[in-house]
Amino acid sequence: MNNIDFVNARLIAAGRSIDNGYLSIRAGRISALGDMADYRPGGEVVDLRGDHLLPGFIDTQVNGGGGVLFNDDPSVEAIAAIGAAHAAFGTTGFLPTLISDDLEVVDAAMRAVERAIEERIPGVLGIHVEGPFLAETRKGIHDPAKFVQLNRDSIALLSGLRRGRLMVTLAPEMCTPADIAALAGAGVIVSAGHTDADYRTMRAALDAGVTGFTHLFNAMSPLRHRAPGVVGAALDDQTSFCGLIADGHHVDAPVLRIALRSRPLDRFMLVSDAMPTVGSATKSFVLNGERIEARDGICMSSDGTLAGCDLDMTSALRNIINMTGIGMADASVMASGAPARFLGLDHVTGGIAVGRVADLVWLGREGMPKGVWQHGNPLASHAVAA
């Protein structure tokens, strides 16, 4: 592993900025950081010339990238290709995400993730199983023919991941609070999404063990003044984590601003909900037998249904700053610290602090990564040149 000293950097460390700082990596971990006045040389020097050094981004919803859709190819090779595509945009940790499919495919995807972690494929932290335990009334682009009720067999399957984190998105009305408690008790991270539940049902699900909301506002019952719905339950709850798609299409800017004022900012997570078009010159793909086109950052079916995103995490970070007016430090928490905490990995990654693994993004002033490191090793090709 490289011993690297980043100098003349604007650090985002522990939610604050150090305007002229240094950071040292030794044996894949952050060994020292502080003001340049206290810097003592000792490693290969990378001069950031006043650019930002951020914690690497963590994306809990990555359906595809680099021309690969995880549902089409639930394999180690596909996971590696998806991870490499997103690494170029600063993502150092991700959950390959399986859209509603047969349980045999869910099983195959889980086994592929286990092997990917065993083979140390960069960045893979586990798997997000988005469905098939969803509500047809809020199906979005998911195929309702795949939808099933959660039962004892599927709970056993989801509880059986041997390596990494497993996140499942489900509709609380498609199961019971006891089912949710069983999943949570087995270590599964339970998130509500694609759901038409009312406030009371959603509140019971939170009490049973739901800790997240998948792409808040999208594909869920809205907030109304006499029917708060899932959105109302999410904004009212102060401890769960909410994924946000900051692409300018899924959620309007005023709604994002209202949401961020309603509950702790460090309980919001930026997600890409990325499709194969990210990191690929090909801007179309097939999902559930239907051609999906990506134009102007929007992935859409022929009938106008949104179908994931042509979005990367660097763009999501830039968008949330521009759309809401928050600062870089807060945006960095949403891109790194909050998802790390949601996954129970914040003691290891998701922030810049002595002892944490060196998952880092050098963000240039033009808003694009100049270098990306995971465990102190360069992930993206431009990081080598840096």
CATH of the domain at 22: 2.30.40.10
In this structure, how many other beta carbons lie within 10 angstroms of the beta carbon of residue 151?
Answer: 11
Residues 117 and 46 in one domain: no
Task: State the Cα angle at 44 between 313 and 377, rounded to 5°.
Answer: 40
Q: Give yes or no: residues 76 and 46 share one domain.
A: no
Tell me how far CA of residue 326 lies from CA of 93, 176, 320, 330, 356, in angstroms.
Answer: 23, 38, 7, 6, 26
347 falls within a domain: no
Domain hosting residue 192, numbered range: 57-342
The tokens 């998105």 sit on which residue? 169
Count of structural domains, the chain = 2
Instruction: Return per-residue pLDDT of the chain as tens, 386 residues.
Output: 579 999 999 998 876 789 999 999 999 999 999 999 999 998 899 999 999 999 999 999 999 999 999 999 999 999 999 999 999 999 999 999 999 999 999 999 999 999 999 999 999 999 999 999 999 999 999 999 999 999 999 999 999 999 999 999 999 999 999 999 999 999 999 999 999 999 999 999 999 999 999 999 999 999 999 999 999 999 999 999 999 999 999 999 999 999 999 999 999 999 999 999 999 999 999 988 889 999 888 898 988 899 999 999 999 999 999 999 999 999 999 999 999 999 999 999 999 999 999 999 999 988 899 999 999 999 864 443 33
- Is residue 228 domain-shared with residue 271, that is, in the same domain? yes
Task: Give me the active site residues, please.
Answer: 273
Judge if 160 and 21 occupy the same domain.
Answer: no
Residues 300 and 375 in one domain: no
Known binding positions for substrate: 141, 218-219, 226, 250, 306-308
Residues flagged as binding site: 130, 141, 194, 215, 218-219, 226, 250, 306-308
Which residues belong to the annotated binding site for Zn(2+)? 130, 194, 215
Radius of gyration of the chain (CA): 20
Say whether both 20 and 63 belong to one domain: no
pTM, two decimals, is: 0.96
If asked whether residues 26 and 160 sit together in one domain, one would say no
Domain membership of residue 77 (yes or no) is yes
